[in-house]
Structure 1
C-alpha cells in the first residue's frame, strides 16, 4: 500500500509532550500572575494608610520571568520528549526489523524482547508465536508437497513402465497388463480424491447442518463390516446420541477414515475395534479404539501428518493413500474440534474427536 510520508510517531509524541508541558506552564504562570495581581493590588504607604497599586507594575516585573520560564519549558519539553519517545519506541524498532525480516522470507527470526510484561512485550511475544506457527505450517506444507509429488509420481511411473513393456513386447498378456494398470490408476484416483477432500476441508467451504455422531458411527461400521470380516476384526459400537453441527459428508468421511484405519492397522485374525459416542457438558465425543501393535508416543504424534502409515511406509491394497488421519485432523479442525491420539498400553491406538455440541438440540 502506497502512503504519503508524514510525521514520525517519535516526533508526534515529542510535540505532544512539549505541547502538554507548555499548556501546563501557561496555566501555572497564569494562576501565579492572577494571585500576584490580587495580592499586589492593595498596599500600604509609609504612613500605614492603604493605597492602590497599579497592576501594570507587577505585570512588567512578572512578564520577563514568565517568558523565560516558557522558553525553558519549550526547550525542556522538546528535548525530554524526544528522548522519552525514543526510549519508549525502541521496542517498536525491533518489532519492525523482525517484520521486515519475516516479509523477506526469514521466518526463523525472533524478537525475544527482554524486560517485564507490557503492551510492547505482549505484541512482541504474540508476533514471535505467530512466526513460530507460520514457520511450522510452511514446513508442514513443504513436506506435504514433497510427499504428494512422490506419491503421485509412483503410479504414473508404474503406468509408464507397464505401457513401455507392452509396447516392446506385443505378445505380452494384455489381460494381466490391464488389471495392473487398473489397480495403479485406481490408486492414483483415490489419492487425487483424497487431496481434493483435504483441500476442501482446509478451505472450510461447506454448509453446516445438525448431525448425530452416533448415526454416523453406525453407518460407518455397517459399511465397513465386510472389510472387518476380511481382516478377522470384531466391530463393537456403543454410546449415546451425540448431536453436533457441521457437514454430514465430511463428518461421515472422518468416521469412515477412523474406523477403516482401526480395522486395517490391527491384529490379524483376532483384533477388535470399539466405536463409542458420548456427550460432555459443552461438547460431543467420538472415540475409536483398536487393538494392535505397541506404539510409542513419538510415533503416534506423527500419525496425523500426511502420508504417514504407522511404523513404515507401505503400499498394500488396504494401506490407503496415507491421508486418512491427516484428513481426520483437517476435518476436526474445520469443525472447531480437538483430535487426540493416545497409544493403548496393551497395544493399538485410541483416537478421540471432540466437537462442539449442537446448540439446536
Structure 2
C-alpha cells in the first residue's frame, strides 16, 4: 500500500518524552513563581532578606535557563530511550521483510523477559515455522502428485506404443488394461479435488449421526470385505457430531476401506465404534494386520504414504485416504489419533465437536 511519508515512531516518541518533560518543568516553575509572588515585598535594608521583586527578577532568567536545559535533555534523552525501546521492533521489521522476500527459515529469537515485543516476536516465529512447514508439505505434495499422475499416463503411453508396434495383439486385453489405468487416474484426480475442497472450509455444518454413517459405509464396503475374507464388527449408540454429512461420510468410508484393504490376507477383522464423551463425538476404527513401527505410523497421514508395500492390486487406493481424513478432521476442529496395535494393525480415533444441544 502506497503511503505518504511521515515522521518516524522514534521521532514521535522523542517529541513526546521531551514535551512531557517540558510540561512537568513548566508546572514546577509555575508553582515556584506563584509561591515567590505570594511572599511579602519587604523594603531592602542592611542585613535584611531580598524583597519579592528582587527575587522574581533573579528567578526569571534562571527559570528560562532551566527550561532550555530540560528541552535539550528531553530531546537527547528521549531519542536514546526511544531507540532502546524500539530496538526489538526494528528486528521484527527486518525479519518481516526477509519473510516477504521468501526467506521463511529466518527466526527473530528475541532475548529478554516476556513483554509485548517478545510476545509479538514469539508469535511471528511460530507463524514462520508453521508457514515453512506448510510450504514444505505443499512442495512434497506437488512432487508426489506429479509422480502419481505421471505413472498412469506413462503406462497408457507404453500400452499404446506396444499396440501400435504389434497389430496382432489382443485388443480386448489392451482395452481392459487401459480401462484399469484410466480408472486409477480418475480416482486419484477425484481424491486430489476432494482434498483441496476440504481445506477451504466451504461447507454447511449440521448435526450428523456418526452411527448412521458407519452403517452406510459398512453396507457399501461389505462386498469388498467378504471378498477379502474380512469381518466387520460395529458397536455404539447414537453419536451426533456437528459438521458436513458428506465430508464426515468420506471420513468413515476412508477409514473402513483402509481397515479392510490393509489387513490380514485371510480372517482379518475390523472393529468400528462410535461413542459420545462429554462434548466430543468419537469414531474409532481398529483392524488386524501387520505390525507397524511408530516411525511408519507417524507418516501415514502424509499424502501418498501407505502402511504396506505399494502393491498395485485391486482397491489398493491412491495413498490419499488418511491425508483426506486428516484434512477433513482439521477443518471440523477435531483431532486424529493413529496408534499401532501391539498385535498388528492400527487403532485410529477421530474426535469431533458434538452437535450443540437444542435450547429449552
Q: TM-score, normalised by structure 1?
A: 0.95
Cross-structure match for 2:114: 117
In the TM superposition, structure 1's runs of 4+ consecutive aligned residues that sit over 6 Å from their partners are none
Greater mean alpha carbon deviation, residues 162-171 or residues 186-195: 162-171
Matched residue SS, 1:185: helix
What secondary structure does 2:225 align onto?
helix
Q: Would you say how many aligned residue pairs link Structure 1 and Structure 2?
A: 358
- The structural deviation recorded for 1:235 is 0.6
Contact 2:204 2:243 in 1 (8 A): yes
Q: Is 2:207 the partner of 1:215? A: no
CA contact (8 A) 2:211 2:237 kept: yes
Offset of residue 42 of structure 1: 4.9
Distance 1:298 1:190, change over 3 A: same
Change (3 A) 1:128 1:312: farther
| Secondary structure, aligned partner of 1:132 | helix
- Is the Cα contact below 8 Å between 2:98 and 2:106 reproduced in 1? yes
Aligned mates of 2:99, 2:46 — CA distance in 1: 84
Deviation at 1:311, TM superposition (A): 3.8
**Secondary structure, in 3 states, of the residue corresponding to 2:317?**
coil
Instruction: Tell me what 1:288 maps to.
Output: 285
Query: Does residue 161 of structure 2 align to residue 160 of structure 1?
Result: no
Q: Please say if residues 41 and 53 of structure 2, whose CA atoms lie closer than 8 Å, have aligned partners that are also in contact.
A: no
Aligned counterpart in structure 1 of residue 346 of structure 2, from 331, 334, 349: 349
What is the root-mean-square deviation in Å for CA atoms of aligned residues? Answer: 1.9
1:341, 1:347 → 2: CA distance? Answer: 13
The question of whether the paired residues in 1 share the 8 Å contact of 2:204 and 2:244 is answered with yes
Q: Does 1:275 align with 2:272?
A: yes
Gaps of 5+ in 2: none
* 1:325 paired residue among 322, 345, 348: 322
Q: Tell me the secondary structure at the aligned position of residue 277 of structure 1.
A: strand
Cα-to-partner distance string for 1:296-343 (whole Å, 9 max, x where unaligned): 111111000000011433322221010000000011011111111111
Report the CA distance between 1:232 and its aligned residue. Answer: 1.2
SS of residue matched to 1:106: coil
Q: Residue 9 of structure 1 corresponds to which residue in structure 2?
A: 9
User: 2:35: which partner in 1?
Assistant: 35
Structure 1 gaps of 5+ residues are none
C-alpha displacement of 1:47: 11
Deviating more after overlay: 291-300 vs 10-19: 291-300
**Aligned residues of 1:309 and 1:319 also touching (Cα < 8 A):** no
Match of 1:132 in 2: 129
